[in-house]
């Protein structure tokens, strides 16, 4: 006899003894409600009411609610799209912009970070710029090409305005002239996603969020864009020393294999710029991108040629000789996110120990950070309270500058409030008076005042005589003192 104790898999029978005759009706309503606005779809109670009123249902409301909840989950799974895992050949890249904030001068400023990811190896490279215009977009890709030592054979983009001017109804695209010349110079094949279909380049979409969370949290303190570029380069290099999420090999090893499939860099780098004519106003000023630049070396109402790059503007004469007239920084309006220092210091006052390991302390001026980060707990409380009070009427940078004047010799009782006042109300000290009438030969000459002293001594003696013994002093002496002939006064 053969024994088999394995439990067979049997299809579970769904029993709906009361609701069974009404299942098709409920399924029809739940399927058709997808065509209705979300706020006007069925509730389980409404289905129960209709079944009872229109079809004579005698079951409980709880039975209907339980089936509706379960059936909606099943319908949602049936409507869910299925995706196939894509296999990316080496040497292909995806590109997208991300927005991040960095610490500068006690506040956060916005920067755009271009991310270029390689799905085959999961490597990613970045470059930060001020805006998402065409010049910044192409310059960032050019810098990344130079850093990786090659060019991807195919690059996927979304329909960013820096490259795509318009999209036709049939899906055709009109590109910017600079982008077409850039792609031809570096010989890569551009591929663009369908409109509103960022998931088609999902690898770089995930990399943008990954790099922001892991490389820019907390926001680094970078006083210049070069410092931010170096920070991102270090982070992306260190990130490759980890295993691939699916292939379980080091990303750095996979990247070395993929580098061999990159196209060679051209012998001459592409110079990213656009030419634009402009006319000065009658005050010899150039108006460009909402900024005004004085050009005193030019003539009023003169037409000039602008060579607009990603970070500067070169001004040339338009007379055919193209003489360089000057270089101007390209105007970018930073979008700052100010740190509410008063709120931060309110938290420090409640928990004074937190200032010793606070991330926001990195964005304070060094003098303020040194002032409040002391080991003595009681002294720390006093100093935190003093800085909090000063922030009610002064900026954080001003408090830091005032503390710098003490050169480290500060105490809670000597916070330089007078220095802060003097910074806002500087003392007026006029320049020495210069007059041209005095001969140069006697400049600095000190006259001999002994003769004047002798004359004054004579008058002092006369005054004593008159006061002591001369009759009629009160009647004639005032007239004598004011007279120009003192000898006559005495004889009378």
pLDDT band at residue 485 under the 50/70/90 scheme: very low
The pLDDT of residue 172: 83
With bands split at pLDDT 50, 70 and 90, how would you rate the model's confidence at 488?
A: very low
pLDDT at 18: 84
Which pLDDT belongs to residue 14? 66
- Assign 3-class secondary structure to 119-185: CCCCEEEEEEECCCCHHHHHHHHHHHHHHHCCECCEEEECCCCCCEEEECCCCCEEECHHHHHHHHH
Q: H/E element holding 321?
A: none
Q: What is the pLDDT of residue 483?
A: 47
Contacts of 282 (CB under 8 A, 6+ apart): 300, 301
- C-alpha 325/C-alpha 298 separation (Å) is 8
Contacts 24+ apart (CB under 8 A), 70-75: 71/26, 71/27, 71/30, 72/30, 75/30, 75/31
Distant-in-sequence, close-in-space partners of 333: CB < 8 Å, separation ≥ 6: 290
- Taking the C-alpha atoms of residue 109 and residue 149, their distance in angstroms, rounded to an integer, is 31
Q: What is the pLDDT of residues 374-425, one digit of tens each?
A: 898 998 998 898 888 888 888 888 888 888 876 555 554 455 566 676 666 6
**Alpha carbon 452 to chain centroid distance?**
73
Provide the percentage of residues in the chain whose pLDDT is more than 70.
Answer: 85
Residue 297 pLDDT exceeds 70 = yes
- Distance separating alpha carbons of residues 345 and 354, to the nearest angstrom: 10
pLDDT cut 90: percent of the chain above it: 37
Average pLDDT estimate for 191-202: 78
| pLDDT of the residue at 408 | 53
| pTM for this model (two decimals) | 0.65
Residue 262 has pLDDT above 90, yes or no: yes
Mean pLDDT within 56-65 = 91
Q: Report pLDDT digits (tens) over 92-146.
A: 999 999 998 888 777 788 899 999 999 999 999 999 999 999 999 999 999 999 9
């Amino acid at each position: 006899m053969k024994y088999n104790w394995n439990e067979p898999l049997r299809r579970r029978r769904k029993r709906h003894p009361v609701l069974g005759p009404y299942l098709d009706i409920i399924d029809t309503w739940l399927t058709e409600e997808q065509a209705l606005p979300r706020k006007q779809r069925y509730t389980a109670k409404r289905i129960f009411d209709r079944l009872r009123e229109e079809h004579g249902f005698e079951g409980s409301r709880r039975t209907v609610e339980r089936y509706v909840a379960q059936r909606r989950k099943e319908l949602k799974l049936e409507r869910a799209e299925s995706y196939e895992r894509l296999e990316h050949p080496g040497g292909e890249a995806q590109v997208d912009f991300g927005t991040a904030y960095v610490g500068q001068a006690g506040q956060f400023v916005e920067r755009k970070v271009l991310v270029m990811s390689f799905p085959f190896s999961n490597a990613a490279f970045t470059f930060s710029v001020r805006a998402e215009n065409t010049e910044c977009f192409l310059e960032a890709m050019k810098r990344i090409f130079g850093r990786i030592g090659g060019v991807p054979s195919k690059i996927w983009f979304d329909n960013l305005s820096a490259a795509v001017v318009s999209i036709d109804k049939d899906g055709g695209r009109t590109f910017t002239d600079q982008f077409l010349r850039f792609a031809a110079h570096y010989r890569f094949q551009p591929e663009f996603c369908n409109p509103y279909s960022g998931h088609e380049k999902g690898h770089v979409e995930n990399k943008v969020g990954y790099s922001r969370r892991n490389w820019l949290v907390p926001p680094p303190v970078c006083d210049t864009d070069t410092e931010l570029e170096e920070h991102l380069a270090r982070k992306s290099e260190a990130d490759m020393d980890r295993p691939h999420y699916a292939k379980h090999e080091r990303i750095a090893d996979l990247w070395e294999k993929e580098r061999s499939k990159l196209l060679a860099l051209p012998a001459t780098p592409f110079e990213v710029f656009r030419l634009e004519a402009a006319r000065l106003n009658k005050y010899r000023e150039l108006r460009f991108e909402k900024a005004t630049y004085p050009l005193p070396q030019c003539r009023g109402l003169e037409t000039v040629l602008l060579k607009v790059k990603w970070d500067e503007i070169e001004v040339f004469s338009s007379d055919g000789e193209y003489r360089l007239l000057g270089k101007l920084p390209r105007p970018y309006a930073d979008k700052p996110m100010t740190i509410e220092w008063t709120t931060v210091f309110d938290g420090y006052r409640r928990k004074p120990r937190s200032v010793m390991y606070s991330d926001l302390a990195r964005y304070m001026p060094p003098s303020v950070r040194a002032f409040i980060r002391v080991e003595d707990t009681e002294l720390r409380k006093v100093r935190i309270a003093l800085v909090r009070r000063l922030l009610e009427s002064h900026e954080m940078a001003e408090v830091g500058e005032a503390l710098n004047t003490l050169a480290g010799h500060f105490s809670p009782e000597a916070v330089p409030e007078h220095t802060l006042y003097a910074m806002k109300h500087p003392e007026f000290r006029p320049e020495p008076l210069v007059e041209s009438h005095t001969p140069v030969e006697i400049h600095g000459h000190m006259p001999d005042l002994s003769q004047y002293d002798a004359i004054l001594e004579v008058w002092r003696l006369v005054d004593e005589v008159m006061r002591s013994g001369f009759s009629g002093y009160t009647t004639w002496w005032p007239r004598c003192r004011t007279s120009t002939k003192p000898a006559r006064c005495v004889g009378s």
